[in-house]
Amino acid sequence: MLVSTVEQIRQMEIRGAGRIARAAAGALADHATVVQSTELNDFVGEMEQAANLLVATRPTAVSLPNAVHLVMAGVQTARTLEEARSGIIASASQFITSSEQAVQRIASIGARHIRDGDVVMTHCNSEAALACILEAHRQGKEIEVYATEVRPRNQGLVTIRTLNDAGIRTSYIVDSAVRSFINEVDLVLVGADAISVNGAVVNKIGTAQMALAAHEARVNLVVAAETYKFAPLTILGNLIEIEERPAEEVLTASIASTLPHVRVRNPAFDVTPADYVDLIITEEGAIPPEMAYIIIRDHLGWSIEQFDRPAH
Ligand code: RUB
């Protein structure tokens, strides 16, 4: 299960920041049950190796290290192997449940920001953003969605299937048509892979361009993101790494081989500055991007002071 989850995340069979985080938590719990060690230290070493393998699968979605950190939190202080094992299993299951509840809570808060008759534009395939749209529709609001194609991996296909299955009127557009349609839209609603302490939102490549178009057209941009999408280490000045994926996702190897002077750049995510973000819907409430530090400090439990204290 560990190896297959690692491979599925790497190959993007499991994708989307929330799903990746829950899959990693589940894989750690599963690994804890099958590890053969008889010594606590060996067990902890094995689990740390597994945690590192999972975290290395995709570098941008901070939900992944955040989930792994939460699941592994008790392992260093466990007194026995059984305590360590059961601690990991319990925290993984707690993380998965609270993550699912967070998405539900975001749906009910986010749905309040979608009015009857609204046209919503979304990008990529975000469980949290879609949950808000589905909840607004469930409440009987007449809504319409513009969904982008999302080159090169076409996550938009997953989005339009979900919207279609729910019976929501949807227009499917190529990524470059965003500005052409932005004036027909009341609200842009997207998810996040990571949110920095300055409120900048990292999400699927193309989000920043959509945010620019929305800003110019005075259309609000709302981000739906669980609190574990906030990146604690950005309080130390760490930057969020933007994953760059293989060239073959954009240009087949046979075409590329005929173009020796051309290189493909394929970043999977981009950064939308806080100035272009009107609101972030978390399970703790709807907040302005400027409140990111409060989430990191009060909800995730990290503060700059803990790094400033002199070592004893
Ligand atoms: C997915 C993506 C999604 C966020 C949020 O990128 O950018 O918008 O992960 O999704 P990829 P969710 O397809 O490369 O993983 O709300 O489901 O966590």
Domain annotation for the chain: domains and CATH numbers: 2-104 (1.20.120.420), 112-299 (3.40.50.10470)
Q: Say which DSSP state 224 is in.
A: E
Q: Does position 123 have pLDDT exceeding 50, yes or no?
A: yes
Quote the ligand 1 centre to 40 CA distance (angstroms): 36
Alpha-helical regions (H) of the chain: 2-10, 17-34, 40-55, 63-72, 81-111, 127-138, 156-166, 178-181, 207-216, 253-256, 292-294, 305-308
Q: Are 304 and 236 in contact (CB under 8 A)?
A: yes
Residue 224 has pLDDT above 90, yes or no: yes
- Tell me how far apart the alpha carbons of residues 51 and 157 are, in angstroms, rounded to a whole number: 31
Tens digit of pLDDT for each residue in 2-54?
999 999 999 999 999 999 999 999 999 999 999 999 999 999 999 999 999 99
Average of per-residue pLDDT values in the chain: 96
| Whether ipTM exceeds 0.95 | yes
Catalytic positions are 124, 193
Residue with CA nearest ligand 1 atom 12? 126
Q: Which atom of ligand 1 is nearest to the CA of 131?
A: 16
What percent of the chain stands above pLDDT 90? 95
